[in-house]
Amino acid sequence: MANEQQWRCRTEPESRRPIFAATLFIIAGQTWVAHSLALRPTWVFPAVATALLVASIAVYEVSASPGMPARVLSYIFVTVLVVANAASLVLLVHGVFVGSTLGPLGLLTSGLALWVATVAVFALMYWEVDGGGLESRAAGYEGRYPDLVFPQQQADQQGLAPETWKPSFYDYLYVSLTSAIAFSPTDTMPYSLRAKLIMGAENVLCFATLAVLVARAVNIAHG
């Protein structure tokens, strides 16, 4: 049973500025992967994602308490990033099993970069969705419940973390990384249906990417 008194407490919200900066690296990585895999037109997903990022920065920097339109904008933004990764995965599968202008090493590098980008994108999605978002978590979840329950939020873990502990982006990055490697939850459990759907989607995309990379490596080994 989660330690409700702990995660219901109010805290200062985590700054979005470092996350905005990290998102630029995600977009840059996706652009490189799309260019390597010949996703045409290459500029579409990066342009849409950049426009949504700029809009998000403008909304969150101007408004002291972003409302539902800002949340919808954030959801659309991370969805575009996920769709961009899925499109690149389709091209990676085509390149490995049908043919590509890239050599074996190029395909392996692109696939690995795509896997890393997928981990980063889903970390961002967990961070945006859990408990209604950053502002809601800082305000004691505002009547909501966590979508992801961390060990520090469990009643039997009292005394192992500050009473005001709240998950940060780096905690969600760890959740995304371990989920992508294990293809299942590890120490943090998805409690809501949407969290389970998101984690399931990440597991499928990461498993497919790694399966394609293994197939490519086997082909290389066999000459």
pLDDT in tens, 175-221: 999 999 988 888 899 999 999 999 999 999 999 998 888 777 766 65
Rounded alpha-carbon distances, angstroms, from residue 221 to 105, 198, 204, 216: 12, 35, 26, 9
End-to-end CA distance of the chain: 54
Instruction: Answer whether residue 133 shows pLDDT above 50.
Output: yes
Burial of residue 13, with CB atoms counted within 10 A of its CB: 0-12 exposed, 13-18 middle, 19 or more buried: middle
Instruction: Answer whether residue 2 shows pLDDT above 80.
Output: no
Domain locations in the chain?
A: 4-221
pTM: predicted TM-score of the whole model, two decimal places: 0.89
171-184: pLDDT as tens digits: 999 999 999 998 88
Cis preceding linkage at 41, omega within 30: yes
SS3 185: coil
Q: What is the pLDDT of residue 1?
A: 43
20-74: pLDDT as tens digits: 888 998 999 999 988 888 888 888 889 999 999 998 888 877 766 667 777 888 8
